[in-house]
Amino acid sequence: MSTTKQILNPERLRRVPEHFSWLDHRLVREHFIERADVCAWALYLFLITVADAQGLSYYADSTLSRRLGLESARLALARRDLIAIGLIAYDPPLY
């Protein structure tokens, strides 16, 4: 079964910012880095690393848990934190 990909939130479509580096400077400049723990940042880094040109990725929770070494409850908490601070959108199975 293949997954049909669609933009989850057109206003949040990834665009390369003028100040581009491998990670968005807002993480430090706007203090996002201080608003989540290392598990959330591990998930964020994984998702941006595997994302396509539109910023979409889809990995099953079981795969993410295994690859990141997180229990499913901890993965859910990390995802919730990233959604709460506005860094990811999630509509299963798409990020």
Least confident window among 21-25, 30-34, 86-90: 21-25
**In angstroms, what is the C-alpha Rg of the chain?**
13
Contact assessment for residue 67 and residue 25, using Cβ atoms and an 8 Å cutoff: no
Q: Which residue(s) pair with 91 in the sheet? A: 94
| Assigned token pair, 91 | 């509509």
Contact assessment for residue 89 and residue 9, using Cβ atoms and an 8 Å cutoff: yes
In this model, does residue 40 exceed pLDDT 80?
yes
d(CA 59, CA 50): 9
pLDDT exceeding 70 applies to what percent of the chain? 93
Mean pLDDT of the 71-88 span:
96
Contact assessment for residue 40 and residue 78, using Cβ atoms and an 8 Å cutoff: yes
Q: What is the mean pLDDT of the chain?
A: 89
What is the per-residue pLDDT for 89? 95
Q: Which of 6-20, 22-36, 61-75 has maximum average pLDDT?
A: 61-75
